[in-house]
Structure 1
Amino acid sequence: MTRLFNDPAAFADEALEGFAAAHRDRVRPVTGGVVRAGATPAGQVAVVIGGGSGHYPAFSGLVGRGLAHGAAVGNVFASPSAGRISSVARSAHGGAGVLLMYGNYAGDVLHFGQAAERLTADGIEALTFAVTDDISSAAPEESAKRRGIAGDLPVFKAAAAAAEQGLTLDEVLAVAERANARTRSFGIAFSGCTLPGADHPLFTVPEARMAVGLGIHGEPGIGEDALPTADEAARLLVTSLLGELPEGVERPDGQRVAVILNGLGSVKYEELFVVYRKVAELLGEAGVDIVEPEVGELVTSFDMAGVSLTLTWLDDDLERLWRAPADAPAYRKGSLDAPEAPRVGNAPAAEDTDDTVVPEASDDSRGAAATVLAVLNTVADTIDTHAEELGRIDAVAGDGDHGIGMQRGSTAARQAAAGAHAQGAGAGTVLARAADAWADEAGGTSGALWGTILRALGTALGDQDAPTATRVADGVAQASAGVRRLGGAEVGDKTMVDVLVPFADTLTAATATGTPLTEAWDRAATAAETAAAATADLLPRKGRARPHAEKSLGTPDAGAHSLALIARAVHGVLLDHH
């Protein structure tokens, strides 16, 4: 468990602050993460990586010459927000575009995609790439759905080394695609991890058993088996990976392979070396030529007791990139003779705005803003009350952090809304500030989606007109459409969409007939509660729960349940303020 912390909510920020202070010669803190201490050379593509905290050395420890130009860091096991990613990317940009790289998780896909759109709109060419190396998380024919685990490192390194060689943005992306297509990982675990401030792990493994096919966010494995000896563990890892060779590799004999034996937090170096001796023997028996292997903690999961094996099947170009020198705080290889380019002045934090200025608003809208603030206070109180329950539901087939993430987001939204309201902002601006704060602080999938919901409502209400029932329903309808467009989920996928769509449809139908907002909202909240309960009978087709679909039967989706709770709580506020 994590023993040394102050406020658990501040853990990720404080860890990043300490990391930057310890490595001032290599990295510089910026809003949202860190960049290299020296400037990105003019004309060089910037490779910006990122993801949630709790995985060190990934992601901040991999920033340095020969590796990433910057890392955007989110809260514990939560994707950094689009605003944080954009900030780091702007600070790292050297004039030749930015490649944003991350593991393939729903929250990261959403936030990095949004960041790329923002950067492109501002004239910075930006592309994204998700690593998909974990063979346990999807079948070969659905490899695009696989998670990114310790295979992040060889794929990140290949792209970054290509950028150092002066390749264009499209060419660097092509290198990342080739490295990813030739990288496979598989892992096992003996116990789950415990987040800062928590009194129990996200999942447990029965004594004398192991979880097979683990994730790196506390997700349980896809199965269990008897606790192995070190040699048995090595044989399972090697056999699993040799059983799925990438396209273009007909047989392992004679192939050159980069090998990573990765400890996930509590399996220490001597244990890893005991396992690696057998890994090397088995690969040798298969005729594999091992190239510069790495054994150690490279992508962790707090204190998870687990180990993963990664194989990257090299061609001539990928081998040169794998062997290329690098100098980052947590990963060094070879020798870099050329001095790092000096940084001139301070790169902009990029997303900074003047929060002391709010747009002009009508008296009607300012009055409505008071109701909006009351709603957001109630939302935060409701989440606080149910956070433990939401985490417990989420842990059945996911990583168990839904309650924590919703707490972070709703608390930040409440604070941002209170600040905007105190400055005389209208309802639209109060909701927009709350949306940005929720997305920034929560990160992850829920942060992106709730930011979208609040922003859609804010756009519908605006700062000038008095809110009407029809305008509120239009905002909820736009929120429903935005969430589906952004997340790619539809009704039946066992997500919050299963609740948001019937809620929006019921509210729209009721207000269209002239039903007062309080009554219309009551009907919609009832529809939401019914839909949330019905998700217990669904199998998840999206998100981290998808690989563990069968485990979730009988349990409602956490995001759907939290939305239904919020819908009902907001009805009480509307009754008080109508």
Structure 2
Amino acid sequence: MTRLWNEPSDFADEMVEGFVRANGRWVRKVHGGVSRSTRSAEAETAVVIGGGSGHYPAFAGLVGPGLAHGAAMGNLFASPSAHQVESVIRASEQGKGVLLSYGNYAGDVLHFSEAQETVRADGIDCRTVTVTDDIFSAAPNEQHKRRGIAGDLTVFKTAGAAAASGYDIDGVERVAHLANARTRSMGVAFTGCTLPGADEPLFTVPAGRMAIGLGIHGEPGIDETDIPTADGLADLFIEHLLDDAEIPENVTDHGARVVPVLNGLGSVKSEELFVVFSRIADLLDDAGVTVVDPQIGEFCTSFDMAGASLTLLWLDDELETLWSAPADTPAFRCGSFDAAGLQAVDPDDDDDTDAVIPDASQDSRRTASTLADALEAVRDVIDEHAEELGHIDSIAGDGDHGIGMQRGSRAAAAEAASVVEKGAGAQTLLARAADAWSDRAGGTSGALWGVILRTIGARLGDDGTPSAASVSAGIVAAKDAVMSYGKAKVGDKTMVDALVPFADTLAEHVENGASLVDAWAAASTVARDAAEKTSDLLPAVGRARAHGEKAVGVTDPGAVSLALIAETITRVLSDGAHETTEKKE
């Protein structure tokens, strides 16, 4: 388990602070992550990588000459927000375009894609290559659906080397796609991992058993077997990774050249990995595969998870040249990098100064005060149910939904309390709370709750008192925005299964003349019923998709948390209506 921490909610921030102070030769702190502290004399295409914290040396440890130019880092096992990714892009780009690369997870895709569109609107040529190396997370004919695990390293390294060699954005993108297409990985685990402050691991493996096909965020394995010997594990790795269906197109095993990356996930020691690798080397040799520059150690971890993964990068001449090119980062060094031409980057003022609070009417300020109360109540109810939400999520997901919702709701409530004191109106308060929730929570839920709050705020505005119709219109707009943004639909076993009936019921009651309090109460009841019915569904999107059968019989945590929040706001609205009635009397 993780033993050394102060306040669990501050762990990621304090980790980044310490990392930067220890590695100032390579990196500087920027909002949302790190960027290089030096740059080459000639401008380069920038490679920006990232994902959740908790995987060191991925991602910050791979920033430096010859590799990445910046890393956006979210909270523990949670993707960075779009705002954070955008900040790292702007701190790292040099006018030659930016390649974004990260593991293929729903939250990362949402946030990085939004940031990409934002900087593109400002004229920055920004492209994306997601890493999809995990052979157990989707079938060979659906490689685009696969997760990214330790194969991140091969894609990041070759793209970074291409940028350092003077490739333009088209060339860097092409090479990254090529490396990803020629990278295959699989992982196993003997125990789960425990986040700072948590009493239990995100998942468990029975004593004497080994999970096969696990994810690096605590997602359970796809299969399970008895723990093999070191040779037996090597046999398992090579059997699957040399399967004809898994060898990249136009590559034959005999005569091929391969970089093997044997990765420890947190608690498996290098000495154990060396024993496993000895057998791996024999098996590759027997298959007629030439081993090039093997890497054994920790490259993409999962806190204290006892497990390992094997990655194979199938080389061609270009990839071999780029893989062997010099690199100098805190955690990965290759060859001899000439630092003579590097120039120090002037440290940016990374203080995230408060934006000016727009003028708001007195009525809108009163609405903002009610919204701040509502977000405070949401924070409290999520605190109360965080453990339960995490438990639900751990059955077929990665177990961090409760933690993410807790981080997000706390940040949103704190920001709302701050700006309401400065005279913010309803729209401004919800927009600022949306950014705070998204930044702090990260992940898919952080992105979607940011969308919900921001969309509702846009309908309420900063002038006047919102009517029941305008609130209902905001909720319906938020429903549409979530479905457009997250691509989920009713029946996919997500938040949408509760959000759609909630929004539709609210709109129906308001149209029929009901008060906002009564309409909201009726809609909340429907949302609760809909959330409970998700137990019968198979997940169709997100991390739980690969564990579909395990999710049957269990409610969706996103739908449950939305229903909890809707019910909580019912009480806030009812209390407000009661106070208004008393004042009139």
TM-score band, normalised by shorter chain: over 0.9
The C-alpha deviation readout for 1:96-130, integer Å capped at 9, x for no partner, is 11111110111100110111111112222212221
The aligned counterpart of 2:454 is 455
Q: Does 1:370 align with 2:380?
A: no
What is the CA-CA distance between 1:306 and the residue it aligns to?
A: 0.4
What SS does the aligned partner of 2:216 have? coil
The residue identity in structure 2 corresponding to 1:304 is M
What SS does the aligned partner of 2:343 have? coil
The residue identity in structure 2 corresponding to 1:401 is D
Please list every run of 5 or more consecutive structure 1 residues that lacks an aligned counterpart in the other structure.
Answer: none
The aligned counterpart of 1:136 is 136
- Give the Cα–Cα distance (whole angstroms) in 2 for the partners of residues 165 and 32 of structure 1: 27
The residue identity in structure 1 corresponding to 2:166 is G
The C-alpha deviation readout for 1:466-486, integer Å capped at 9, x for no partner, is 101110011111111111111
Shift in CA distance, 490/448, structure 1 to aligned 2, threshold 3 Å: same
The aligned counterpart of 1:270 is 271
The aligned counterpart of 2:318 is 317
What is the CA-CA distance between 1:186 and the residue it aligns to?
A: 0.5
The aligned counterpart of 1:294 is 295
What is the CA-CA distance between 1:40 and the residue it aligns to?
A: 5.3
The residue identity in structure 1 corresponding to 2:517 is T
What is the CA-CA distance between 1:43 and the residue it aligns to?
A: 3.2
The correspondence of residues 431-510 of structure 1 with structure 2, limited to 5 A, is: 431-510=430-509
What SS does the aligned partner of 2:383 have? helix
- Give the Cα–Cα distance (whole angstroms) in 2 for the partners of residues 55 and 344 of structure 1: 27
The aligned counterpart of 2:14 is 14
* Paired residues of 1:41 and 1:94 also in contact (CA < 8 A): no
- Give the Cα–Cα distance (whole angstroms) in 1 for the partners of residues 91 and 65 of structure 2: 15
The residue identity in structure 2 corresponding to 1:358 is I
- Give the Cα–Cα distance (whole angstroms) in 1 for the partners of residues 305 and 127 of structure 2: 33
What SS does the aligned partner of 1:191 have? coil
The aligned counterpart of 2:581 is none
- Give the Cα–Cα distance (whole angstroms) in 2 for the partners of residues 2 and 290 of structure 1: 35
The C-alpha deviation readout for 1:197-244, integer Å capped at 9, x for no partner, is 011111111111100111101111001101100000000001110013
The aligned counterpart of 1:334 is 335
The aligned counterpart of 2:583 is none
The C-alpha deviation readout for 1:37-79, integer Å capped at 9, x for no partner, is 1035543110010011110000000001111001111110001
The correspondence of residues 119-518 of structure 1 with structure 2, limited to 5 A, is: 119-243=119-243, 244-347=245-348, 349=350, 352-355=352-355, 357-518=356-517
- Give the Cα–Cα distance (whole angstroms) in 1 for the partners of residues 394 and 341 of structure 2: 45
* Paired residues of 1:253 and 1:287 also in contact (CA < 8 A): yes
The residue identity in structure 2 corresponding to 1:423 is K
The aligned counterpart of 2:117 is 117
- Give the Cα–Cα distance (whole angstroms) in 2 for the partners of residues 26 and 450 of structure 1: 35
- Give the Cα–Cα distance (whole angstroms) in 2 for the partners of residues 318 and 511 of structure 1: 61
The C-alpha deviation readout for 1:330-386, integer Å capped at 9, x for no partner, is 00010112425313533464x94534x211111111111111111101110110010
What SS does the aligned partner of 2:282 have? helix
* Paired residues of 2:247 and 2:253 also in contact (CA < 8 A): no
- Give the Cα–Cα distance (whole angstroms) in 2 for the partners of residues 35 and 480 of structure 1: 36
* Paired residues of 1:16 and 1:33 also in contact (CA < 8 A): yes
* Paired residues of 1:42 and 1:96 also in contact (CA < 8 A): no
* Paired residues of 1:91 and 1:348 also in contact (CA < 8 A): no
The residue identity in structure 2 corresponding to 1:530 is D
Q: Greater CA deviation, 22-31 or 68-77?
A: 22-31
- Give the Cα–Cα distance (whole angstroms) in 2 for the partners of residues 38 and 282 of structure 1: 42
- Give the Cα–Cα distance (whole angstroms) in 2 for the partners of residues 345 and 207 of structure 1: 53
Q: Percent identity?
A: 60
Shift in CA distance, 41/507, structure 1 to aligned 2, threshold 3 Å: farther
- Give the Cα–Cα distance (whole angstroms) in 2 for the partners of residues 500 and 168 of structure 1: 44
Question: RMSD of aligned C-alpha atoms?
Answer: 1.2
Using structure 2 for the length normalisation, give the TM-score.
Answer: 0.97
- Give the Cα–Cα distance (whole angstroms) in 2 for the partners of residues 19 and 340 of structure 1: 25
* Paired residues of 2:41 and 2:343 also in contact (CA < 8 A): no
- Give the Cα–Cα distance (whole angstroms) in 2 for the partners of residues 76 and 345 of structure 1: 29
The residue identity in structure 2 corresponding to 1:378 is A
* Paired residues of 1:265 and 1:301 also in contact (CA < 8 A): yes
What SS does the aligned partner of 1:396 have? helix
What SS does the aligned partner of 2:524 have? helix
Q: Greater CA deviation, 560-569 or 167-176?
A: 167-176
The residue identity in structure 1 corresponding to 2:309 is S
What is the CA-CA distance between 1:245 and the residue it aligns to?
A: 3.3
The aligned counterpart of 2:98 is 98
- Give the Cα–Cα distance (whole angstroms) in 2 for the partners of residues 409 and 126 of structure 1: 28
Q: Greater CA deviation, 168-177 or 418-427?
A: 168-177
The aligned counterpart of 2:542 is 543
Q: Aligned residue pairs: how many?
A: 576
What SS does the aligned partner of 2:207 have? coil
- Give the Cα–Cα distance (whole angstroms) in 2 for the partners of residues 148 and 465 of structure 1: 48
- Give the Cα–Cα distance (whole angstroms) in 2 for the partners of residues 391 and 102 of structure 1: 25
